[in-house]
Amino acid sequence: MTTTRVLVVEDDRELGDLLLRLFGGAGYAAELARDGQAGLHRALTRRYDLLVIDRGLPAIEGLDLLARLRRSGNQTPAVILTALGTVTDRVAGLDGGADDYLVKPFDVDELLARVRVVLRRRPTGTEHVLPVGEAEFDLIARTVTTADGDQTTLSGRESDLLRLLASHPSRVFSRQEITSGVFPEAATETLADTYVHYLRRKLGPTVITTVRGAGYRLGTL
């Protein structure tokens, strides 16, 4: 049986270490990022089954972090932890893409119970597979399989870019939107062009269509 992988993004050192022990004791494989930038990088480059994100993070605030992940096409279930407990705050968290929202201080048994509920709602079957023309893109394995059975494995960033485009196949994404969604740490937008080139080199020149003056959209294989 595959171990459930959890990413905890929490800047409070004591609470972060406590959550690592808590999830480890519950049988999960937990990792810790201590600021929003590190959390964003890990979530975009590694596969997790659940994100547990503090709202008041340095570098990138928790809801902003989650919004960037959702814009990139990353739909990993997420639980927000926060000291902000008003109805308005909770609504903002849920509308921002969180699957649950737990106010500090919280009971650890309640946190684990909520985590179990969120994990039970994870996509099953082929819901983690996106079409790319007649090919299939497996979000978990990061592989693209053609109708002929040829399979190509993508890097983390290549996968993130293809996920963004394949999640919205008719939408044209500007280079700025791709950069902010997939490469938020980049100083320029040239990284978007570089990874479009990488995907075309691996999957063929038609996988991504250039829309002159506007950006890129998903093509076909």
CB 92 within 8 Å of CB 79? no
* Single-letter residue type at 58: P
CATH code assigned at 105:
3.40.50.2300
Range of the domain at 15: 5-120
Specify whether 102 is located in the same domain as 172.
Answer: no
Specify whether 152 is located in the same domain as 175.
Answer: yes
pTM, two decimal places = 0.57
Task: Tell me which of 120, 150, 185 is where a domain ends.
Answer: 120
Total structural domains within the chain = 2
pLDDT digits (tens, 9 = 90+) for 60-119: 999 999 988 888 878 788 999 988 767 777 777 777 778 888 888 889 999 999 899 888
Specify whether 89 is located in the same domain as 175.
Answer: no
Specify whether 133 is located in the same domain as 206.
Answer: yes
Length in residues, the chain: 221
pLDDT digits (tens, 9 = 90+) for 19-65: 999 999 999 999 999 999 999 999 988 889 899 999 989 999 999 99
Task: Tell me which of 63, 92, 120 is where a domain ends.
Answer: 120
Q: Phi and psi for 132 in degrees, rounded to 5? A: -130, 90
Query: What is residue 122's predicted lDDT score, i.e. its pLDDT?
Result: 63
CB 49 within 8 Å of CB 27? no
Residue 185 pLDDT level (bands cut at 50, 70, 90): low
Residue 187, pLDDT above cutoff 70: no
HEC secondary structure over the chain: CCCCEEEEECCCHHHHHHHHHHHHHCCCEEEEECCHHHHHHHHHHCCCCEEEEECCCCCCCHHHHHHHHHHCCCCCCEEEEECCCCHHHHHHHHHCCCCEEEECCCCHHHHHHHHHHHHHCCCCCCCCEEEECCEEEECCCCEEECCCCCEEECCHHHHHHHHHHHHCCCCCECHHHHHHHHCCCCCCCHHHHHHHHHHHHHHCCCCEEEECCCEEEECCC
* Single-letter residue type at 210: T
Read off the tokens for 141: 């394995």
Q: Which of 23, 156, 13 is nearest to 79 (CA)?
A: 23
Specify whether 142 is located in the same domain as 86.
Answer: no
CATH code assigned at 168:
1.10.10.10
Specify whether 201 is located in the same domain as 165.
Answer: yes
Specify whether 97 is located in the same domain as 202.
Answer: no
Specify whether 58 is located in the same domain as 149.
Answer: no
Specify whether 214 is located in the same domain as 139.
Answer: yes
Specify whether 104 is located in the same domain as 179.
Answer: no
Specify whether 213 is located in the same domain as 176.
Answer: yes
Specify whether 143 is located in the same domain as 197.
Answer: yes
Q: Pairing mode, if any, of strands 135-138 and 143-145? A: antiparallel
Read off the tokens for 65: 């972090």
pLDDT digits (tens, 9 = 90+) for 161-177: 999 999 889 899 999 99
